[in-house]
Amino acid sequence: MCHFQIQTAILNPDNVNVDPDTQYFTDEELLSRVPNLMLILAGIYLALEMVACAMVTEPTVTCSGGGGGGASCSTSKCAFMHFSFIISALQQ
């Protein structure tokens, strides 16, 4: 789980402790980094998902030909051609 280390490096690099009474962070500098942390993590996750989606392909299909030839046809098409599935998911 490397995202915990990324969050800590961005949000709390000085290892500020929580308030012992409330068990919450009270440091204003640390709390002001939270909105930027969310944007940075969203960008990282978006980039990783875009790379993963671009790598999705259909499996290679082998066709068996008649007459003992055993011809194989490779249909390795990229399943990630458009963002239409993302757009349709967001519209629902």
Single-letter amino acid, residue 4: F
| pLDDT the model gives residue 76 | 45
More confident residue, 1 or 67: 1
Domain span holding position 73: 2-91
Q: Is the pLDDT of residue 71 over 70?
A: no
Assess contact for 48 and 70: CB atoms under 8 A: no
Count of domains for the chain: 1
Summarised one tens digit per residue, pLDDT across range 9-50 is 999 999 999 999 999 999 999 999 999 999 999 999 999 999
Structure tokens at 24: 């919450």
Please give the Cα distance from 48 to 24 (Å, whole number): 31
